Amino acid sequence: MEQFLEVIQKESIGVVKEKELLSNHTTWKIGGPADVLIEPDSLDSLKRIMELISQYDIPWRVIGRGSNLLVADGGIEGVVIKLGKGMDQLEIEEDTIRVGGGYPLIKLATVISREGLSGLEFAGGIPGSVGGAVFMNAGAHGSDISKILKEALVLFPDGRLEWIKGEEMGFSYRTSRLQQEHGICVEAVFQLEKGEKAEIVKHMQANKDYRRDSQPWKHPTCGSVFRNPLPNYAGQLIEEAGLKGFQIGGAQISTMHANFIVNIDKAKAEDVMNLISHVKETIKTKHNIEIETEVEMIGRPKENE
């Protein structure tokens, strides 16, 4: 790692930070330090970072805006690459948009609606990045990324940079092939439809208002924690089990929406993990249904002090 750091700090590739707390980079405001956090300032920089990571055999992973992510209290070994500024370009041509993986999804939905383009209204309240949305096939209000993705530019761990068609992404519920192949979505092309601007803005705002009024955003949260075990809904099952408001440490099952866990008092990742385990066990006992997490859990436990 020391050799890698010496080399990477001499490169003009963006921002490099050692022992950066990931609680500063997740919407849950939870997470220990990354050995190294790098925010590349361009695609060329990202490619160079990946070359060096491969050369020095350093563990790595990518994050976007840190939603849908629980980072352990012990942090993350190796390099965390954050796609943000420098990877957030946007081009609009007729009814097609080309956008960087680091572009905020909520902002994109707002900008596009004002252009009179329809198809992203569902994303008006999803607190992630474009790259993360493609990776997870993010969705809401009966639609998702798979419905609009024309193609994505993907950087693979071996250095391959490849355009993948939407129909080749292996999309299913909150899943894409990138999760198995550890691909990084660095750019996406979305096929939208021209429409009446006022109606599109109204529709998107209604979706945002619904999320604001029905989901807890006053405290740090990651978004939905559990996948819906269709035809059931995770939030409904948790509420019926009487778990709304149940708390472990600083983490609480939201009293507003039971599929959200909120950080109400300096919660640790361990608190959230214990709460998730309790929910799973309770739902299995009461409903005989096994529910799985939608949130991704990464990192190492904190050593006892």
CA dihedral 25, 26, 28, 30 (to 10 degrees): -60
Residue 225 covered by a domain: no
Residues 6 or more apart in contact with residue 275 via CB below 8 angstroms: 246, 247, 248, 251, 252, 253, 261
Residue 222 covered by a domain: no
Rounded Cα distance, 112 and 95, in Å: 10
Q: What is the CATH number of the domain that holds 175?
A: 3.30.465.10
Residue 250 covered by a domain: yes
Residue 219 covered by a domain: no
Q: What is the CATH number of the domain that holds 267?
A: 3.90.78.10
Residue 197 covered by a domain: yes
Rounded Cα distance, 21 and 26, in Å: 10
Residue 60 covered by a domain: yes
From first to last of the 305 residues of the chain, give the pLDDT tens digit: 889 999 998 989 999 999 999 999 999 999 999 999 999 999 999 999 999 999 999 999 999 888 889 999 999 999 999 998 889 999 999 999 999 999 999 899 999 999 999 999 998 878 889 999 999 999 888 899 999 999 999 999 888 899 999 999 999 988 999 999 999 999 999 999 999 999 998 888 888 888 788 888 889 999 889 999 989 999 999 999 999 999 999 999 999 999 999 999 999 999 999 999 999 999 999 999 999 998 989 998 876 54
With both helix axes pointing from N to C terminus, report the angle between 197-214 and 105-114 in degrees, rounded to the nearest 10: 150
Are residue 105 and residue 176 in the same domain, yes or no? Answer: yes
Active-site positions read 174, 224, 294
Are residue 187 and residue 118 in the same domain, yes or no? Answer: yes
Instruction: Give the strand pairing for 296-298 and 117-118.
Output: unpaired
Are residue 153 and residue 206 in the same domain, yes or no? Answer: yes
Residue 187 belongs to domain spanning: 90-214
Could you identify the residue written with the tokens 């193609």? 151
**Ordered strands of the 247-248 beta sheet:** 247-248, 251-253, 261-263
Are residue 70 and residue 152 in the same domain, yes or no? Answer: no
Residues 6 or more apart in contact with residue 277 via CB below 8 angstroms: none
What are the helix (H) ranges across 36-104?
Answer: 43-56
Question: Rounded to two decimals, what is the model's pTM?
Answer: 0.87
Residues 6 or more apart in contact with residue 29 via CB below 8 angstroms: 23, 220, 263
Residue 266: both structure tokens together: 């300096």
Could you identify the residue written with the tokens 């943000």? 84
Are residue 201 and residue 98 in the same domain, yes or no? Answer: yes
Rounded Cα distance, 300 and 298, in Å: 7
Task: Give the number of domains in the chain.
Answer: 3
